[in-house]
Amino acid sequence: MKDKHPDIVLNKFGTKVLLRNTASYGTFINESVNLEFMLMFILFAEHNDKDKLKSQLTEVFKEENPNIISEKLESFFQSQDSDAIFDLNSYELYFGQMAYCRIVDNALCYFKDVLSEVVVKEPRVLKSSKEKESYDFMLSFGSIEELKKALSDKKIKELFYGSIEDIKKYFLDRLGIKLFDNETDEKDFSMVIKQRNLIVHNRGIITQELADEFPNFKEIVGHQLLFKYDQLSIINGLINNLIIEIDIKLREKFNLETFEV
């Protein structure tokens, strides 16, 4: 199935596939695919021989001179109670949150990477009448290229310690690129970022602040964010689709180098 852009095709799941892309997108999609394989591994891992694994764990924890702890562990692994260790659902909360964070961080790293590509092509995007550098800073570099790279790294670091609103404003004001085509996409991506921040900074526990901004969370304040494995694949695909649209805009506007898939 073809998309409106000649370099985009859609697979049967509705996920866009980019036939030519920037180096930054190449890194992004490689990480995205690895995450997808990890999710597949988790799903298929449930079909391992549990009895064999339990027997192996029993041997691992068996002591030549048994003590109360080793005896309890051996007894536990030999009982049905230990089946929970090998139950995929026992770890969905943790694996889901870990994969979700990695998916979102992958997208944020893409923005940093592609901005670096743009700066190499158009150093003027760093120019600002409000930002001044000391002579000592500028004269500490051996060439103009080293100075450009240092200024680029400094700006990128400042920008990505901010919020998605800061990133959006910078891309629009300096690059002339609108990150989101509509308000719904922007709000959805903002929710994605804020959920990631709750996992990193609040053990994934939903706050009243999040519920005030996104009413869907109103009834589960105080609960932990839970991402089903199949839901993560959908989120990964949606973020991929958003990044593809941005990558095409940037590569065409700034004539970024592209590579065949």
213 token code pair: 């901004």
The string of pLDDT tens digits covering residues 126-142 is: 776 466 767 777 778 88
**Shared domain check, 206 and 240:** yes
The answer as to whether 137 is a domain residue is no
The answer as to whether 99 is a domain residue is yes
Q: Give pLDDT, residue 160.
A: 64
The answer as to whether 104 is a domain residue is yes
**Boundary of a domain, candidates 60, 86, 112:** 86
**Shared domain check, 22 and 52:** no
State the DSSP code for 38. Answer: H
The answer as to whether 108 is a domain residue is yes
CA-to-CA distance for 223 and 211, rounded, in angstroms? 11
Structural domain boundaries enclosing 72: 48-86
Which among 72, 8, 27, 82 is positioned nearest to 50, based on CA atoms?
82
**Shared domain check, 65 and 28:** no
Phi and psi at 35, nearest 5°, equal: -65, -40
CA-to-CA distance for 254 and 252, rounded, in angstroms? 6
**Shared domain check, 26 and 82:** no
**Shared domain check, 106 and 215:** yes
Q: Give pLDDT, residue 84.
A: 79
Q: Which residues contact 208 (CB under 8 A, 6 or more apart)?
A: 221
The string of pLDDT tens digits covering residues 107-163 is: 988 988 888 889 888 888 877 646 676 777 777 888 877 877 777 777 777 776 667
Give the three-state DSSP class for 2: strand
The answer as to whether 19 is a domain residue is yes
**Boundary of a domain, candidates 32, 61, 86:** 86
- The answer to which of 2-6, 74-78, 109-113, 244-248 has the lowest mean pLDDT is 2-6
**Shared domain check, 56 and 18:** no
Pairing relationship of beta strands 16-18 and 20-21 according to DSSP bridges: unpaired
- Cα-to-chain-centroid distance, residue 140: 35
**Shared domain check, 185 and 57:** no
Sequence-ordered alpha helix ranges (H) in the chain: 23-45, 50-61, 68-78, 92-121, 135-138, 144-159, 164-175, 183-202, 208-213, 229-254
**Shared domain check, 202 and 100:** yes
Q: Give pLDDT, residue 40.
A: 66
**Shared domain check, 226 and 113:** yes
The answer as to whether 213 is a domain residue is yes
Which among 207, 200, 247, 221 is positioned nearest to 100, based on CA atoms?
200
CA-to-CA distance for 239 and 171, rounded, in angstroms? 18
**Shared domain check, 200 and 79:** no
Q: How many domains does the chain have?
A: 2
CA-to-CA distance for 244 and 110, rounded, in angstroms? 11
The answer as to whether 82 is a domain residue is yes
Q: Give pLDDT, residue 162.
A: 64
- Cα-to-chain-centroid distance, residue 155: 21
**Shared domain check, 187 and 75:** no
The answer as to whether 247 is a domain residue is yes
**Shared domain check, 58 and 168:** no
